[in-house]
Amino acid sequence: MTNQNPPVSKPMGLLAAAADLLLGAACPGCATPGLGICDGCQERLLAQQPRLLPRPDFPVVSHGPYRPPVSTLINAYKEREAWWLAKTLGAQLAAASAELITAGGLVILVPIPCDPQKIRARGIDPMWRVGRSAQRILSHQAKLPEVRCVRLLRQTRQVAEQSALSRDQRWHNQAGALAVRPYPVPAAAQVIIIDDISTTGATLSEAARALTAARIPLLGGAVIADARIRAAQALGSERGR
């Protein structure tokens, strides 16, 4: 099932100008003064097309590469607590998920679980909120009969922050880190693992392992952004040192 690019909210004109003067507001994608996402970033978001990532085990669709404005929007959402961006990021995730979904039947979006300590510190589960936004978009815009966002996975142990780890370290860090919560998943359900970024694929593979071990059928994975190019550049830089 394919889906058209989701709409992005329009700029707010005079309200944006007033916010810039009074509050110093700026676009979270490029820092252009104004309220909300600017015209240029909106155009770049709408120009992105979901694509299938090369994986040998199960299909994963990314809405686009991990570069501005998507990379800066994700960073603003997670690191600067711009929680209002959940709707925009959810739209990107919904479009990627729609590429995997066949018409009809129950769809279950399974977010990669966040570190419980981070959830307590932030007061929200960022990936869960984006997943719920994607759920609503798929239900209303794609006219799917039933879409759920389910916290099906849980961490079995604390994992290290992935960003500073090498490829091999990431796979070791994630190995055996996830398990499945008790939940009745129908055999015909279309189960999709969802996450914000895919770099080495270690987290998605661990989630797939946990689901498979619990005999839950997996349709595939969907992510907002693909960071494999960035990871390859970093690896090349390390080899050149």
Question: Mean pLDDT across the stretch 173-197?
Answer: 88
Q: What is the 3-state secondary structure (H, E, C) of 154-195?
A: EECCCCCCHHHCCHHHHHHHHCCCEEECCCCCCCCCEEEEEE
Question: Does the predicted model carry a pTM greater than 0.85?
Answer: no
Strands 51-53 and 153-155: unpaired
Q: Is 85 contained in some domain?
A: yes
Q: Which domain holds residue 137?
A: 49-239
Q: Is 15 contained in some domain?
A: no
Q: Is 113 contained in some domain?
A: yes
| 3 state DSSP class of 70 | helix
Per DSSP, 111 falls in state: E
- Across 89-93, 113-117, 118-122, the highest mean pLDDT is recorded for 89-93
Q: Is 128 contained in some domain?
A: yes
Interval 4-47: pLDDT, tens? 455 444 444 455 445 444 445 899 999 998 889 999 999 999 99
Q: What backbone phi and psi angles, to 5 degrees, belong to 210?
A: -65, -45
Instruction: List, in sequence order, every residue forming a beta bridge with 90; answer none if it has no partner.
Output: none
Q: Is 195 contained in some domain?
A: yes
The total domain count for the chain is 1
Place of tokens 């994607």: 134
Instruction: List, in sequence order, every residue forming a beta bridge with 149; answer none if it has no partner.
Output: 109
Interval 147-166: pLDDT, tens? 999 999 998 867 656 666 66
Q: What is the CATH number of the domain that holds 144?
A: 3.40.50
Q: Which two tokens stand for residue 147?
A: 């879409």
What is the C-alpha to C-alpha distance for residues 97 and 61, in angstroms, rounded to an integer? 7
